[in-house]
Structure 1
């Protein structure tokens, strides 16, 4: 029963992380212009994986989509690929988790469901790694430009989308690990139970059952001793009579 509760908790963690990762892809604020060293700020620049935008002091935003995918910087293309891979892996992991959980009625035998749940855990771990890698790569580019004294263009700060992506990746990794550990515990318990049953059967195999009135077979020497002793006992009884 505890394994079922662990799988439910892992499913909640992984599904929440996958939802956070999916929302991160379409969020606006992956990076926001830095106000460090400026006294008066008339506009705010921000960008994500798909467009550049600027917001003036009146709150009006103007955005421009990236004109060419092939002309983009390499780190933006890598982040796009990693986040799309994370979303796909999370989707497949959710389906496998629903099939492999003990509380569902699909998936076949318990052994097959345990294997499917293990695959779902590995899938979610890869999903979290992809999200963490994408957000970390984007954040590394921002921090490198910010602390580079020779970089004279607009500098940016870390946006809120990066922190949400990190949170989603961590939740997916934690939930996937719980899936794997719960499956490992169930396999170890089943193995220990089978070993106990085997040992119990082996110990009971040395005990021979005899029906009422049936004597245990003995060797010839012991049979002769028993017959002589029975005669002596019979003679003693007759002597008292």
Structure 2
């Protein structure tokens, strides 16, 4: 029962993690920079420069947004291409992992025997872990580029120094949930495999033929008469035969006398 609860909790945690990661792909404000001040009559004027994986935009205080979408794949900044690729790979692995873990869980009645379900669940946990690490690498790559451009002393001051937006932090939380879910899956499988391998190392229990042979040997050794007992029985039988022969001779002598 406890094992099933841990697996269900791992399924929910990993599902929420992939939901967070998938939402960040469609969210805006991956990086954002605000420029503002006061105009005439204390009117506040400001402009937000922000970007995501698909476009660069500018929004003013009148909520008018002007965007420039990335034209073609090979015209995009290389690190943005890398982030896209890592996230796409991780989401593909997450889809496969979710299916495998659903089949391998104890509370589902598909997947075959218990040993087969354990293997499927362990494979799904491995896919979850690799996918979570891939997503984490994507967010770390994007964060490194933004932070290095913002704090590097060699970068020109005229270049916009962006800050990190909400999707980055949401993505980090999703990666943590995914990796935690894979660990919860593995916790329910690895101890069983360790016990099985240790049992194989120490030796398997004897087979039916071995038990039968040992029992036969034990029985024959236990019930078989020893050499001393055989000699005693032989001497007893010879003594009895001599006594019986003497008795017959006495009786024949008596009959002759009569």
Structure 1 residue aligned with 2:140: 136
Deviations 1:189-223 (A, max 9, x none): 4556787981798899866797xxxx822322245
> How far off is 1:153 after superposition?
1.0
Structure 1 unaligned residues grouped into runs of 5+: 229-241
Alignment match, 2:228? 221
Higher CA-based Rg: 2
Who is 1:90 aligned against? 94
Name which of structure 1's ranges 173-182 and 85-94 shifts more when overlaid on structure 2: 173-182
Range with bigger deviation, 144-153 or 104-113:
144-153
Distance 2:174 2:105 in 1: 21
Alignment of 1:92-241 (within 5 A): 92-149=96-153, 150-151=155-156, 152-190=158-196, 198=205, 216-224=223-231
Q: How has the CA–CA distance of structure 1 residues 7 and 204 changed in structure 2, closer, same or farther, with 3 Å as cutoff?
A: farther
State the shift of 1:158 in Å: 0.5
The equivalent of 2:54 in structure 1 is 50
CA distance in 1, matches of 2:212, 2:199: 17
C-alpha displacement at 1:180, in angstroms?
Answer: 2.3
* 1:26 correspondence with 2:26: yes
Task: Say how many residue pairs are matched.
Answer: 223
Higher mean C-alpha deviation, range 62-71 or range 119-128: 62-71
Q: What CA distance in whole angstroms lies between the structure 1 residues aligned with 2:37 and 2:65?
A: 21
Q: Which runs of 5+ in 2 are unaligned?
A: 39-44, 236-258
> What root-mean-square deviation, in Å, do the aligned CA atoms of Structure 1 and Structure 2 show?
2.9
TM-score of the pair, normalised by structure 1: 0.80
TM-score between both structures, scaled by the size of structure 2: 0.75
Higher helix share: 2
